[in-house]
Amino acid sequence: MVGIFILYMPAESDKSLAKKLGLKPNQVIRIFNEPEFYWDWLAPLSERIGVKTKGNDE
């Protein structure tokens, strides 16, 4: 028996990437090797979310 499953995922969503990732205020996220437009995708990012990147590990 052969089964074919097709998953439909909309190309656009009204949720931001930050919301999809479950980022909440007072969290700290660490980003490595982000793609070129990553920060555009992640916006808007709450000012209360800490971000550490390569070279920013204070």
1-57 pLDDT, tens digit per residue, is 555 656 655 566 777 888 888 888 899 888 888 888 888 888 888 888 888 887 655
Backbone dihedral region for residue 9 (phi beyond 0: left; psi -120 to 50: alpha; all else: beta)? beta
Residues 6+ apart with CB under 8 A from 33: 54
Q: What is the pTM of this model?
A: 0.54
CA pair distance 17, 40, nearest whole angstrom: 10
Give domain limits for the chain: 17-53
How many residues are listed for the chain in this entry? 58
CA geometry: angle 40, 19, 10, nearest 5 deg: 80
